[in-house]
Structure 1
Amino acid sequence: MHSTRLPDAAQARGAAKPAGLRRQGRACRSLRSPSASLYEFSSSDIELGQNLGTSRILDVVSARPSTLQQAPLATDISSLEQLSSSQRLSQSQQSGVEARLFTGRVVEGDLAGMPIILKAYSNRAVGDADMLAANELATHDTLQTWRGGSPCFCQLLGGFVAQAGASAGEQWLVFRDDGSRTAAAYAARAGDATARDGVVGPDSFMAAARLGNQGRLQRRQAFVRKMMYQIMEGLAFMHSRQRLHQSLGPASVLLNTRGEADIDQLQIRLWDLAFSVDVSDEALFGGATLGDIWDRGSITTNDPRQELASGLWRRAKQAGAFGERSRRNYGFADDVFAAGLLLAFLAFVPFCQPGSIDGPSLQRLLTVTFAADMEAAQLYCEADDRWSKAVAFLDRGSETGWHLLAAMLNPEWQLRPTAESCLNHPFLQMALGASADNVQI
């Protein structure tokens, strides 16, 4: 494949350099920084590979987003199209900000040879683009440098601001390429495989020949449950660092493996943190010390990225969450609600007849038609033969899957479990130790 050099990464006139970036040295050196482990790349450091498409960033206006968008993906290894807009918002407006996505590799410096994914924020609406890019960078920086980070997130290597050509002024973020297949793409492939009693993956024919029908279903159940557990691990880690995701959906989860035979190596990574919200004491209360307050001249934070949370705080107020700590707890519960919708998506789409259910329809069924009454929803789903394998999946362990969904989608936000407590739920605990050895061949 022909590779293309990136535009000059020197600072564009008037464009702010993202805080915390270090210049990538030509000599091999370790990344040492008390606040970040990030590089500022230059144009000679990187070659572009495949164009993965363009995604449109959406602004939340008021209503809770429908996080169950099923992205149309054409290849077995999904493109990253729509990752930055992983939610179809029930009330939304286009922000005017686009992100172009590319594969590539580092060709110079101490990271030479590393495969990467690049995310370029369009400069057509510089203010919004800069804010979203800065927020995504700052969130990854915070997560990567706290307690050694977590394997459940894409690894941000750094970024730059382009100076020359049509890309001048654009913010580029550089991620390590640990896989580009989304949970949305996997679910679609798995649904097709369920319909034909097949297996997802490059060795699907041979694997299907080795496994009986029951073995194939058990492998898929184990694979999906391990995905679910790791998603909640990532969300729990974010919350422990006082960060909200706020864009959680099947297109914001990446997989590092191409097929179900690689369950032992499966590692999901959360992505799409442009709308992440900082709910730390410093962000909510305006500073950790009197010195901070004197320096700012105000008891409230002046960080413009807090504007991204305006829709969340409006919903919190409507739900009766007043005061900073109450708003924070509402934010945690809001993320858990989105995670519940994502778990429902993964419980149904990979096991149902293709075309019989999609994300938005499933959300309406569970949260509107049955208002999170999972007993009634279960009876309804049991009556549809096309969904029998999904029902059986949620029925495992004395119907624990239904119980977990009921808790996470509880209309009373104060009664929803924390992400950490979800990990201890019996339904997700069954994921521990999931491996290919647990499937009879």
Structure 2
Amino acid sequence: MEDQFFLSDATNMMVEPIRNFFATLFLASIWMLIHVHFLLNHIDILLAVIVLVIVIKTLVVATVVKGFRSNNKTSLLVGMSLAKIGEFAFVLLSRASNVHLLEGKLYLLLLGTTALSLAGTPTISFALASIQLSYLKLPYFVLNVMLMMKVYPRQQVGGVKADMMAANELNVHAFLQSSSKTVSQNLQILLGGFETKTGEQWLAFRNDGKYSAADYAKVKSEKMSKLGGKNSWNPFEKELTIKRRRFFVIKLLHGALCGLAYMHDHDRLHQSLGPASVVLNTVDEKDAAYLVPRLRDLAFSVDIRYSQLEEGSGALSEGLWRRASAAGAFTPMEKRAFGIADDIYEAGLLFAYLAFIPFCEAGIMDSLSLQRLLESTFRLDLEATREYCLADDRLLEAVNFLDLGDGAGWELLQV
């Protein structure tokens, strides 16, 4: 099923340029039918007709929806959402003109009305959205925007901690998105949030992708298994696939580290960095040039401004500062340095995950076994880890990836 989803995304990416081409050709051909002088001479009538059509369509659709026992607010919302004039009107006008149902001036008037309506779609949509928000008191997520919704359970189910996590994630995103003129492209964008009558906390994010780095690694690992051994895999195809995978993983890691660096520059720790907390806008390795990884899941983010460190820790950061104290970090400067180092250590585990899982067959290595191998078995001795992996042919591609640039991957992992 997951392979089908990824194949669907890849197909959409390939078809989209063709779709855009034909859409451009369609709109260009429509404007070739428009008489500019006629539009200019009758602009007042055209605008009045557009307003009239929107009002009539809104009332008609709202009446139909109301007939299905919907409330007034829902009926009016659906009516306003379908009020704009669509492209199919050109087809109807063309057919009506061919059978002489419309005379010349009326045809040009309706044609101009439809064209102006399409050209003004952004302005009309914004105006309708403003009416929806101002007069219907509707939450923003009903608008024509692609969103990713995240919910925290009500206090009776998730406890006080769930409310604290929701509030913290909301505040951190608000701070990071307003603290600079240039917001990092490697952070997921929060659009807003609200609380339901039952106490659930909802956060709405811009939908910049539905797959995480964990999803990507899992699917690529499964595909490595399906491709089978060396004898059943075209060596030239294998070489090209591995090169693309290396480039994709490097760009993925670079984007995640840029997002983490942006957070540190703005006095925020991530504190839950992992493969599932990096969302991707594409998982097609052929489209690696367009890949934009974004960090998400900032519910445990910690404020490391000196003023906050001097005031004391909150409930969500107690574990971090307990470990800091155990490591001998007591002053605000020491605690800040410890927190940043802890985030970087999590980034190292993320790098190790991305260096091994996508390059190994499914079941050979997972996140927990990899962490145990590094921390418990070899106690972060990467030379010994490399020797161990070299002895296992199933881990050879991961070793080759880390060996790039005279072992630059191992050096980065060591840092």
Identical positions, percent: 45
2:192 touches 2:204 (CA, 8 Å); kept in 1? yes
Is residue 78 of structure 2 the alignment partner of residue 44 of structure 1?
no
Residue 338 of structure 1 corresponds to: 346
1:351 touches 1:387 (CA, 8 Å); kept in 2? yes
Residue 306 of structure 2 corresponds to: 281
- For residue 215 of structure 2, give the secondary structure of its aligned residue in structure 1: helix
Q: 1:178 to 1:210 in 2, by over 3 A?
A: farther
2:222 to 183, 187, 192: 192
- For residue 358 of structure 2, give the secondary structure of its aligned residue in structure 1: coil
Structure 2: how far apart are the matches of 1:209 and 1:150?
40
Structure 2: how far apart are the matches of 1:263 and 1:174?
27
Per-residue deviation, residues 165-216 of structure 1 (Å, max 9, x unmatched):
xxx1211111111111011110011112333459xxxxxxxxx999722111
Is residue 414 of structure 2 the alignment partner of residue 383 of structure 1?
no
Structure 2: how far apart are the matches of 1:333 and 1:345?
18
> 2:163 corresponds to which letter in structure 1?
D
Residue 154 of structure 1 corresponds to: 188
Q: Which has the higher Rg, Structure 1 or Structure 2? A: 2
> 1:231 corresponds to which letter in structure 2?
A
- For residue 396 of structure 2, give the secondary structure of its aligned residue in structure 1: helix
Aligned-residue Cα RMSD (Å) equals: 2.6
Task: For 1:246-285, list aligned pairs within 5 A.
Answer: 246-285=271-310
Structure 1: how far apart are the matches of 2:301 and 2:411?
28
Q: 1:209 to 1:274 in 2, by over 3 A?
A: same
- For residue 212 of structure 1, give the secondary structure of its aligned residue in structure 2: helix
Structure 1: how far apart are the matches of 2:128 and 2:282?
33
Query: How much has 1:282 moved relative to structure 2?
Result: 2.5
Is residue 267 of structure 2 the alignment partner of residue 242 of structure 1?
yes
- For residue 205 of structure 2, give the secondary structure of its aligned residue in structure 1: strand
Per-residue deviation, residues 55-96 of structure 1 (Å, max 9, x unmatched):
xxxxxxxxxxxxxxxxxxxxxxxxxxxxxxxxxxxxxxxxxx
Query: How high is the TM-score relative to the length of structure 1?
Result: 0.60
1:313 to 316, 321, 324: 321
2:152 touches 2:158 (CA, 8 Å); kept in 1? no
Structure 2: how far apart are the matches of 1:210 and 1:348?
20
Per-residue deviation, residues 390-410 of structure 1 (Å, max 9, x unmatched):
000000010111111112xxx
Structure 2: how far apart are the matches of 1:28 and 1:43?
11
Residue 50 of structure 1 corresponds to: none
Q: 1:318 to 1:344 in 2, by over 3 A?
A: same
- For residue 314 of structure 2, give the secondary structure of its aligned residue in structure 1: helix
Is residue 216 of structure 2 the alignment partner of residue 122 of structure 1?
no
Structure with the higher strand share, 1 or 2: 1
Moved over 4 A (4+): 25-29, 208-211
Query: How much has 1:146 moved relative to structure 2?
Result: 2.3
Query: How much has 1:43 moved relative to structure 2?
Result: 7.6
Residue 106 of structure 2 corresponds to: none
Structure 2: how far apart are the matches of 1:403 and 1:182?
26
> 2:177 corresponds to which letter in structure 1?
Q
1:213 to 224, 231, 238: 238
Structure 1: how far apart are the matches of 2:222 and 2:194?
41
Query: Which structure 1 residue ranges, 5 or more long, are not aligned?
Result: 9-24, 30-38, 47-105, 199-207, 286-299, 408-441
Per-residue deviation, residues 225-283 of structure 1 (Å, max 9, x unmatched):
10011111011111000100000011111110131111111011111110110001221
Structure 2: how far apart are the matches of 1:122 and 1:178?
24
Structure 1: how far apart are the matches of 2:357 and 2:159?
38
Structure 2: how far apart are the matches of 1:141 and 1:210?
49
- For residue 274 of structure 1, give the secondary structure of its aligned residue in structure 2: coil
Query: Which structure 2 residue ranges, 5 or more long, are not aligned?
Result: 1-69, 74-125
Query: How much has 1:129 moved relative to structure 2?
Result: 1.8
Of the two structures, which has the highest relative contact order with CA contacts closer than 8 Å and spacing of 6 or more? 1
- For residue 350 of structure 1, give the secondary structure of its aligned residue in structure 2: helix
Query: How much has 1:117 moved relative to structure 2?
Result: 1.2
Structure 1: how far apart are the matches of 2:331 and 2:138?
49
Structure 2: how far apart are the matches of 1:226 and 1:134?
32
Q: 1:253 to 1:43 in 2, by over 3 A?
A: farther
1:197 touches 1:216 (CA, 8 Å); kept in 2? no
Residue 49 of structure 1 corresponds to: none
1:245 touches 1:335 (CA, 8 Å); kept in 2? yes
Structure 1: how far apart are the matches of 2:319 and 2:150?
25
Structure 2: how far apart are the matches of 1:43 and 1:182?
34
Structure 1: how far apart are the matches of 2:342 and 2:235?
43
1:182 touches 1:255 (CA, 8 Å); kept in 2? yes
> 1:128 corresponds to which letter in structure 2?
K
2:175 to 121, 142, 146: 142
> 1:44 corresponds to which letter in structure 2?
L
Structure 1: how far apart are the matches of 2:203 and 2:304?
23
2:382 touches 2:410 (CA, 8 Å); kept in 1? yes
- For residue 175 of structure 1, give the secondary structure of its aligned residue in structure 2: strand
Structure with the higher helix share, 1 or 2: 2
- For residue 147 of structure 2, give the secondary structure of its aligned residue in structure 1: strand
